[in-house]
Amino acid sequence: MKRYQLLVLLTIVLLSVTDPSDSFAAIKERYEYEQTGKVFWEADTDETKLALTFDDGPHPANTPELLDILKAYNVKATFFVVGKWVEAYPDIVQRMLDEGHEVANHTYSHIYDEAITKEDLMEEIDHANRVLEETVHIRPTYFRPVGGYYTDDIIDAAIDLKQDVLLWSWHQDPRDWAGTPTTEIVKHVVDHAQGGDVILLHDGGGDRQKTLRAVKLIIPVLKHQGYQFVTASELLKPSPIFLH
């Protein structure tokens, strides 16, 4: 038997005895999740609105400096915060809210695991929500999965907890988390900008000086081009839920 025939035969045998769910999480196409009305990558709009989003904070040095920059330019953003850092730096999260920014859920402990079980993820989301409720008295509208992973279990975990899932525009990840130079971050965001974009950046997870310098350049350039910066809720239009 020729080698390629043997490989084909082995593949057929393996497929016949292996349950794909044993090793791979169930994943639908993006448009199928979007059809739920609960999962978003960006807004379908003709308006020149963009949402700056920042993951992994609050950070004791990066985030206050970023808030200063946003305040100077009168720009509102959405922060996907990690519950354990909210516990450590609640005053920074309160400042976000006081200055008109939106706060969203990025799990409690930032577990980077595409294969996380639905039950474990629900606890991560719920734990972060409880921390936000207890410290700054909000329940966020949006949840963003760590790493941008989305599977049936990840999406269902969020929806079961009545959270909308917001990822980001696939053309708007300048990889600032990987130490990308400031000039490249700026070029990527500006060159790809279009109305409805959800832009992914980070204020936590390490030294973000390159990101902060990039934000200082991105905002005036895009404003000059006629773009408006809004929160995720303003871009996508659902109403945030606040506790009293």
Residue with tokens 């474990």: 120
pLDDT of the residue at 13 = 36
The answer as to whether 52 is a domain residue is yes
Q: Is residue 2 part of a domain?
A: no
d(CA 213, CA 208): 9
Question: Residue 6 — very low, low, confident or very high, per pLDDT cuts 50/70/90?
Answer: very low
| CATH code assigned at 218 | 3.20.20.370
Interior angle at CA 144, CA 138 and CA 148, nearest 5: 170
CB contact at 8 A, 176 and 29: no
Single pTM value for the model: 0.87
- Beta pairing class for 164-166 and 142-143: parallel
Check if 152 is active-site: no
Which one of 173, 202, 224, 244 is the catalytic residue?
202
Q: Look at residue 20 and tell me if it is in a domain.
A: no
Q: Give tens-digit pLDDT for 123-180.
A: 999 999 999 999 999 999 999 999 999 999 999 999 999 999 999 999 999 999 999 9
**In a 3-state reduction of DSSP, which class is residue 216?**
helix
pLDDT of 197 reads: 98
pLDDT in tens, 74-124: 999 999 999 999 999 999 999 999 999 999 999 999 988 888 999 999 999
Mean pLDDT of 187-206: 97
Q: Quick check: 3 pLDDT over 90?
A: no
Residue 127 in any domain: the answer is yes
Q: Number of folded domains in the chain?
A: 1
Provide the pLDDT confidence category of residue 56 given band limits of 50, 70 and 90. Answer: very high
| pLDDT for position 26 | 86
How far separated are the first and last CA of the chain, in Å rounded? Answer: 73
242 pLDDT exceeds 70?
no
The per-residue pLDDT for 25 is: 66
Its domain, for residue 166, covers 42-236
- Locus of tokens 């994943």: 27
Average per-residue pLDDT in the chain?
89
Q: Give the whole-angstrom CA distance, residue 179 versus residue 4.
A: 43
* pLDDT band at 40; cut points 50, 70, 90: very high
Query: Is 72 within a domain?
Result: yes
In terms of pLDDT, which residue wins out, 28 or 226? 226
Domain annotation covers residue 4: no
In-domain check, residue 77:
yes
Picking from 120, 105, 109, the residue whose alpha carbon sits closest to that of residue 25 is 120
Q: Which of 22, 55, 106, 164 is catalytic?
A: 55
Q: Flag whether 12 is in a domain.
A: no
SS3 content of the chain, % helix, strand, coil (to 5): 45, 15, 40
Choose between 238 and 205: higher pLDDT.
205
pLDDT value at residue 24: 53
Which whole number is the average pLDDT over 1-15?
A: 39
**192 in active site:** no
Give the C-alpha separation, 139 to 95, whole Å. Answer: 16
